[in-house]
Amino acid sequence: MHVIARRLTIVALLSLGIIGSWPVVVASAEETLEAENIPFSFEGAFGLFDRAQLQRGFQVYSQVCSSCHSLNLLHYRNLGDRGGPDFPEMQVKAIAAMVEVEDGPNDEGEMFTRPGAPSDPFVKPFPNEKAARAANGGALPPDLSLITKAREGWRGTFRQLVDGIGGPEYVHAVLTGYREKPENVPEGPAGKYYNPYFSAGPWISMPPPLSDGLVEYTDGTASSVDQMARDVAAFLAWAGEPKMERRKSLGFRVLVYIVILATLLFLTKNRVWSRIEH
Amino acid sequence: MSGESTFEPKNGAVEWLDRRLPVFSLLKRQVVDFPTPKNLNYWWTFGGILTVFLALQIVTGIVLVMHYTPNTALAFNSIEFIMREVNYGWLIRYMHANGASFFFIAVYIHIFRGLYYGSYKAPREVLWILGVMILLVMMATAFMGYVLPWGQMSFWGAKVITNLFSAIPFIGERIVTWLWGGFSVDNPTLQRFFSLHYLLPFVLVGIVMLHIWALHVPGNNNPTGVDVQSSSDTIPFHPYYTVKDAFALVCFLSVYALFVFYKPNYLGHSINYEVANPLQTPSEIVPEWYFLPFYAILRSIPNKLLGVLAMFGSILILVFLPWLDTSKVRSASYRPIYRQLFWIFVLDCLLLGIVGSRPPAGLWLLIGRVATSWYFLHFIILVPLVGLMERPKPLPVSIREAVLTKELRAEAQIQPGE
């Protein structure tokens, strides 16, 4: 009797798991595609950012994306942070000095411009939302500081537990996902591009931003569209979670500590409880 | 309770204070020497775990408030300031956000333990009702806390849940306006939610103290459900349960740490990393995972007012459980039919959780309705009926006897091999 009840419970639990992992069918699911999983260096419990990749990614951001997309949560000094692109201090200063920053008011009450300093936040491409929309056919290019944490490359409760939400993969998929629209898809709005990986897609206002050889990498890496998309996705993953390396290394030490403490407590508990009948 | 506790201070200052305010005597009697059934299993460790998590949430919360700004224009960026610029701010914030989830994991296990072992039955009804109040206040606190980062799901979740009150006839709309402090979810809403999110945890501390007080009057229930009869049934709380609770706590913390350090955003919504935009509705508005079963109950009923009543009723019905359960036997271990009903009920709650995360249409709507019906059927019909009809298994004479039989049986199993 109990054996049957227990087996039934196990069967029920398993079937709950199966229906729980059934993919959610959203209205737009037939029009948009899941991103391709990319084995980034920063995945897994011990994965770290690839410094060279982050530096290349910054190059893509600053030469291509930054003309429309802001990165409001970053300061130039962050480019020299450990656990990030780790640019040398002189280079950070040089990068910051390349932009003009509005400052003031000065003692005369006037605003003025000066060369950027590492303590400045990344300059915005547009002064306000209206200006951004006006320059982009009514569409607003989103801030990219948290884009890899705010967008999902794929769905599924268990898939996301194992593979993460696929935020960097989403960025890569959108950047490389432009194509001719299939025959059966109706014509989209004027001035929009077909991209089945775009989350609110498949029609996206952003024209294909990358083309082979667009950026000349200082480290000599061949700049294919795929390579640039991977690099900038990695850079944005760091921009969204700049303390990731610190988090993982501290986490490892905390877990080692917890395991030792748990072992000692378990032994103590057995010792203490052996004094009494239980 | 047997085993009279005596406190004889050795230190003069301690004696001086204890004669004026007997805190040391109280701790000695209620914590160190407190006679506790000797057969409590690991399901009983979650009370202590919950106390630690309440403290953890309060401490991390107080630190977060030192850097957080409750203003719609600044809130989102102030959270990111904590994540990026404050020393170990990322750790404090991830501990607080995941702490809420693990608080709920522990509280749900704690509640189901009470349901299984009949801990709500006389003389522990008030203890149980205080527990239901704790759950309600916890839910309100967690809901308002999720609004504070002012992301997309914060905003739209707040909007959907506060809008539920508009279902109240005649005055519903006015109540919603009153809750919002305006005609939409906006800065006044954020600021009052912040204020209440800071206040309610301290209310929780108060109810938790009453909960522990109410526990210490009859003492712990135990896996047999048989009352303590003599001092041979009990052991002092310290060191036996302090060390057992500590071990269980550290095991629980290890899972918590895995999430804090390696999956810190898994239990949240990615869309909440986008700042609130009142003009853009997200494609799906889903509450935090710990609210999903109740959300499923809400949405499985076509009428809004009835849905809201069912949702609140699904928690408030627990208040009446001590009187709905007609069985004199506490522990489900000796109640063969109730035991199966209990496990079906657990599955029903898990199923409701899955339903709550899916759009309410087609098959999911049907499953949600069946599961909701079963939820109420369980409490209103099955529990009272089974208590009257079921024939329980013979109970052990005492806790000590139950412990000894278990030991003897374990020895009998070992012997043939030796």
- Give residues 119 to 178 of B whose Cβ lies within 8 Å of A: none
Tell whether B359 lies on the interface with A, counting CB pairs under 8 A.
Answer: yes
Query: Rounded to an integer, what distance in angstroms lies between the CA atom of residue A133 and that of residue A127?
Result: 11
Sort out which chain B residues have CB atoms less than 8 A from A273's CB and list them: 240, 244
Model confidence at A146, pLDDT cuts 50, 70, 90, reads very high
Query: Rounded to an integer, what distance in angstroms lies between the CA atom of residue B191 and that of residue B210?
Result: 29
pTM value?
Answer: 0.93
C-alpha closest to that of A275 among B235, B407, B398: B235
Contact A262 B247 (CB under 8 A): yes
Tell whether B238 lies on the interface with A, counting CB pairs under 8 A.
Answer: no
Q: A–B: how many Cβ contacts below 8 A?
A: 112
- Say which of A28, A152, A243 has its CB closest to residue B270: A152
- Say which of A24, A78, A149 has its CB closest to residue B358: A24
A19: pLDDT strictly greater than 90: no
Residue indicated by tokens 């500081």:
A145
> Cα dist. A67→A9, A82, A122, B406 in Å?
58, 27, 12, 74
A11: pLDDT strictly greater than 70: no
- Say which of A20, A151, A255 has its CB closest to residue B254: A255
Burial B16-38 (b: 16+ CB within 10 A, else e): eebeeeeebbeebbeeebbbbbb
Q: In the prediction, which pLDDT does B10 show? A: 86
Give the list of residues 6+ apart from residue B23 with CB closer than 8 angstroms, or none.
Answer: B17
Sort out which chain B residues have CB atoms less than 8 A from A269's CB and list them: 243-244, 247
Q: In the prediction, which pLDDT does B5 show? A: 66
Spatial contact of B375 and B301, defined as CB atoms under 8 Å apart: no
| HSE, side-chain direction, 13 A CA sphere, residue A233 | 30
Contact B274 A268 (CB under 8 A): no
Q: At CA B153, angle to CA B148 and CA B157, rounded to 5? A: 85
Q: What is the pLDDT of residues A53-101, one digit of tens each?
A: 999 999 999 999 999 999 999 999 999 999 999 999 999 999 999 999 9
Query: Rounded to an integer, what distance in angstroms lies between the CA atom of residue A69 and that of residue A197?
Result: 19
Q: In the prediction, which pLDDT does B102 show? A: 98
> Cα dist. B222→B236, B248, B326 in Å?
15, 17, 19
Query: Rounded to an integer, what distance in angstroms lies between the CA atom of residue A77 and that of residue A95?
Result: 10
The parts of chain B modelled with pLDDT lower than 70 are 1-5, 414-418
Residue indicated by tokens 């705010």:
A150
Radius of gyration of chain A (CA): 25
Q: What is the pLDDT of residues B365-405, one digit of tens each?
A: 999 999 999 999 999 999 999 999 999 999 999 999 999 88
Residue indicated by tokens 């135990």:
B222
Spatial contact of A40 and A236, defined as CB atoms under 8 Å apart: no
Report residue B195 CA to chain centroid gap: 22
In DSSP terms, B121 is beta-bridged to none
Q: What is the pLDDT of residues B150-198, one digit of tens each?
A: 999 999 999 999 999 999 999 999 999 999 999 999 999 999 999 999 9
